């Protein structure tokens, strides 16, 4: 069986293509904890707009989040602390867990 060819470094990849190349090692210990009750009263909900991995979404009147696929940018925590209700508590995953970047 032939191995799949990896994309050429010469081919321009958009953000979705690049994220699709990354791999994720799930951490059983949560590295993002959200006090979702505070989100109900948040006017701006900046986490919904700043996360390039769409970790956060508003569904059925509440914030839903899934840490799998998080690229560990940390912008969600920054905007929540400065523009939101300080509901997001974010840390890097434990060693060897989380995202492993490939091709940028």
This prediction has a pTM of: 0.71
Q: What does the pLDDT look like over 20-79, one tens digit per residue?
A: 677 777 778 888 999 999 999 999 999 999 998 899 999 999 999 988 878 888 999 999
C-beta neighbour count of 80 within 10 angstroms:
26
Domains of the chain: which residue ranges? 27-95
What is the CATH architecture assignment of 27-95? 2-Layer Sandwich (3.30)
Which of helix, strand or coil describes residue 90?
strand
What's the distance, CA 43 to chain centroid?
21
């Amino acid at each position: 069986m032939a191995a799949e060819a990896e994309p050429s470094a010469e081919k321009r990849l958009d953000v979705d293509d690049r994220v699709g190349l990354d791999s994720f090692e799930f951490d059983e210990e949560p590295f993002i904890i959200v006090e979702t009750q505070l989100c109900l009263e948040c006017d701006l909900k900046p986490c919904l707009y700043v996360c390039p991995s769409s970790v956060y979404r508003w569904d059925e009147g509440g914030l839903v989040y899934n840490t799998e696929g998080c690229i560990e940018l940390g912008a969600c925590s920054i905007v929540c602390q400065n523009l939101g209700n300080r509901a997001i508590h974010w840390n890097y995953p434990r060693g060897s867990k989380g995202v492993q970047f490939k091709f940028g």
